[in-house]
Amino acid sequence: MQERKLDGMRVAIIVNNDFEQVEMTEPRKALDQAGAQTTLIAPKPGQVIGMNHDKQADQFPVDMALEQAKPDQFDAVLLPGGALNADTMRMNPKAQEFVRQMNGAGKPLAVICHAPWLLVSAGLVSGRTLTSWPTIQDDIRNAGGHWEDREMVRDRNLVTSRGPQDIPAFNKGMIELFAEQRVGAR
């Protein structure tokens, strides 16, 4: 039986339609297996649609509308990527404020693929080291961040990865970061 390092930890998973499905489902499965309570949050209630690269995939029920989500209800954040999802979420003021408050409270953020765009738009990458899908490295650098081409990069309360190919390293880094945060909060 797997050790449940994250028993009771509350993790917000923030997406919009057209997120990269595997970047939500595989990390969510890892979090659930580690004992975390995951909540799928989206701008609108109902369902969100995942993508398998450039083709629509499955629908998932939204657990909570972004309007109702409060950062103090959660211990950590997972931001899946997907270019369309990330491009929409980066312009959402509520999503920006949510990640700003989580970061300001020192809570851990796990961010993959195109999702660092939200961090860029929220003003959270200056002076930070991270990775992402390679096509947004200029956005990260232009926002004052340091970009590295590695499968997983950890910088304080932030863990980032490039994309689906890096999910095993991303999940490992995310669980370690979240578990350390949990121990530190006790």
Average pLDDT, the chain: 95
* Residue 5 falls inside a structural domain: no
Tell me whether residue 114 is one of the annotated catalytic residues: yes
Q: Which of 56, 46, 45 is nearest to 18 (CA)?
A: 56
* Residue 4 falls inside a structural domain: no
Q: Which residue has the higher pLDDT, 4 or 71?
A: 71
* Residue 3 falls inside a structural domain: no
* Residue 43 falls inside a structural domain: yes
Q: What is the pLDDT of residue 125?
A: 98
Looking at residue 167, which CATH number applies to its domain? 3.40.50.880
Q: Which of 131, 129, 128 is nearest to 161 (CA)?
A: 131
Number of Cβ within 10 Å of residue 116's Cβ equals 32
Task: Kindly indicate the confidence band of residue 1, based on its pLDDT and cuts at 50, 70 and 90.
Answer: very low
Q: Is the pLDDT of residue 78 over 90?
A: yes
CA atoms within 13 A on the CB side of 54: 0
* Residue 68 falls inside a structural domain: yes
* Residue 115 falls inside a structural domain: yes
Looking at the structure of the chain, the number of domains it has is 1
The C-alpha angle 8, 13, 19, rounded to 5 degrees, equals: 155
Q: Containing domain of residue 30, as a range?
A: 10-181
Q: How far apart are alpha carbons 70 and 186 in whole angstroms?
A: 21
* Residue 66 falls inside a structural domain: yes
Q: Please tell me which residue in 28, 90, 107, 114 is annotated as part of the active site.
A: 114
* Residue 186 falls inside a structural domain: no
Q: Which of 136, 131, 69, 79 is nearest to 109 (CA)?
A: 79
Task: Kindly indicate the confidence band of residue 184, based on its pLDDT and cuts at 50, 70 and 90.
Answer: low
Q: How far apart are alpha carbons 142 and 109 in whole angstroms?
A: 21
Q: Which of 106, 109, 125, 99 is nearest to 158 (CA)?
A: 109
Q: What amino acid occupies position 13?
A: I
